[in-house]
Amino acid sequence: MSRDLTGDLGVELPPGVGTDTPVFVISVAATLAGMHPQTLRQYDRIGLVSPGRSSGRGRRYSARDILMLREVARLSQEEGINLSGIKRILELEGQVDALRARITELFAELEATQAETARREAQLHASYRRELVPFTPPGEITPWRRGGSSR
């Protein structure tokens, strides 16, 4: 479900670097998000946007993190939502994304199961013996013949 976010970000990522790869240091991320670095630190402390960490424990932001920071700013400034409300909105959006992914998985599993059922049904039908067997409907009288054969 990953989509290209570089157009939304305004920065082209190097080849092989995904939108979830933490590559931006806090000063660059703050500039790209239009915020002060201290704001990013505060958001990290309260768990609003949690960046990855480098081996030296420095914060590293991904393109997706920067877009999330921009969304936090929009919700706060344009919609007037407080930070706890924004945190809840982001959590719910994450749950919706996870549920959509699960639905996609379940549909794929359903299609595979239906295909397997159809395959087994065709295999079963192919195994039927195709012999003609005399059939007399109920209530119809069959003449009896000497020798035990009815036909």
Determine the residue type at 5: L
Please report whether residue 22 resides in a domain: yes
Predicted TM-score of the model (pTM): 0.65
At 43-86, the pLDDT tens digits run: 999 999 989 888 888 899 999 999 999 999 999 999 999 999 99
Residue 40 burial (10 A CB sphere; 0-12, 13-18, 19+): buried
Please report whether residue 118 resides in a domain: no
Please report whether residue 145 resides in a domain: no
Residue 52 burial (10 A CB sphere; 0-12, 13-18, 19+): middle
Give the count of domains, the chain: 1
- Say which CATH number the domain at 13 has: 1.10.1660.10
Low-confidence ranges of the chain (pLDDT < 50): 1-4
Please report whether residue 148 resides in a domain: no
- Give the domain extent around 41: 6-81
d(CA 31, CA 135): 86
